A and B are shown apart, each in its own frame.
Chain A
Amino acid sequence: MNLYIKTYRHLINPSPMIDGKEYLTSVYRSLGIDYPKFFKMDNLSKLGFLASELIFKDDPSRFVPREDLAVIGFNRSASLEADTAYQATIQDNKNYFPSPAAFVYTLPNIVTGEIAIRNKFYGETSFYISEQFDAEQIFRTVNHAFQDKKTRSVLAAWIESFDGTQEVFMMLVETETSEIPFSIKQINKIMNN
């Protein structure tokens, strides 16, 4: 099957000196949207959310429920950053208050859920953990999703937020012909740009 990258976004926190939360808030502000739930999210969800906003903000048929769009995430550190934040709430016996709001983000796939909730995507969502960025794995997994006859679009993303790194590379892959063919070579090329 011939697939194409309709559009993509690649966001990276430019400097480890910039606090991840601040960086993400500045991107949110620049979008001029009103979605207070953003501030409740962990950094991983914020990253995925922002990239998806950038991709869909000008889509004229936005917010029309879609069952034919799959959201697939990949990363290396799973939800380690959120895990650490939650662990801090149960670490100290004397100051022991497990935080439900922190706990709900200790799952890497919450980000795919957040994107689906915002945009009303009812299709497949999944999340894969691998040792490092693996264009072949992304290529293969996106292709699998398209074997499902109902799937018309796949929103695929490498989303990593841990230890001073905030990076998201998100692409909207479709069957409709566009300028960028969806291939392992192209995925690597954009990622390394």
Chain B
Amino acid sequence: MDELILKLKGEIIEVLNLEDLQPEDIADDAPLFGEGLGLDSIDALELIVLLEKNYGIKLTDPAQGREIFQSIRVLADYIQANRKK
């Protein structure tokens, strides 16, 4: 799990162009949206693409994302349970 969390942090930094952040700057339980990393609705959509591209998980409703993108840990748990690749 820790490995997946670290990998995810790297992927998120890359696809969301969080240029000034290092993986260690993102706390496992910190909220991704709102106060946390300051991500917006487009970032949420880009994370949905990431889930499909890297893990074969297809979300069709952006509202589902709200649950899954609570924190890196919640996201990693979801991927672990649902990944197809």
Contact = CB atoms under 8 A, between A and B. Distances in A.
Interface string A68-101: 0000000000000000000000000000011111
A39 B18 contact: yes
Dominant SS among interface residues on chain A: helix
Contacts of A39: 17-20
A97 B52 contact: yes
A150 interface: no
A40 interface: yes
B42 A36 contact: no
Contacts, number: 31
B17 A99 contact: no
Interface string B23-47: 0000000000000001000110110
A40 to B, nearest CB: 5
A97 B16 contact: no
A192 to B, nearest CB: 34
A104 interface: yes
B18 A36 contact: yes
Contact of A104 (B20, B42, B53): B42
A98 B19 CA distance: 22
Contact of B45 (A36, A40, A100): A100
A24 B19 CA distance: 13
Contacts of B18: 36, 39
Contact of A101 (B20, B42, B52): B42
In this complex, the interface size class of chain A, counting residues with CB under 8 Å from chain B, is: 10 to 19
Given A39-B17, A39-B19, A99 B46 contact: yes
A25 B17 CA distance: 12
Interface residues of B, number: 14
Interface string A14-48: 00000000000100000000101001100000000
B74 interface: no
Contacts of B42: 40, 100-101, 104
A40 B43 CA distance: 10
B8 interface: no
B52 A36 contact: no
Contacts of B53: 97
Nearest to B15: A101
A40 B17 contact: yes
A104 B45 CA distance: 11
Among B16, B38, B42, B52, the one with the most A-chain Cβ atoms within 10 Å of its Cβ is B42
Q: Which among A25, A39, A98, A104 has the greatest number of chain B C-beta atoms within 10 A?
A: A39
Contact of B49 (A34, A36, A97, A104): A97
7 contacts: A36-B19, A97-B52, A98-B49, A100-B49, A101-B15, A101-B45, A101-B46
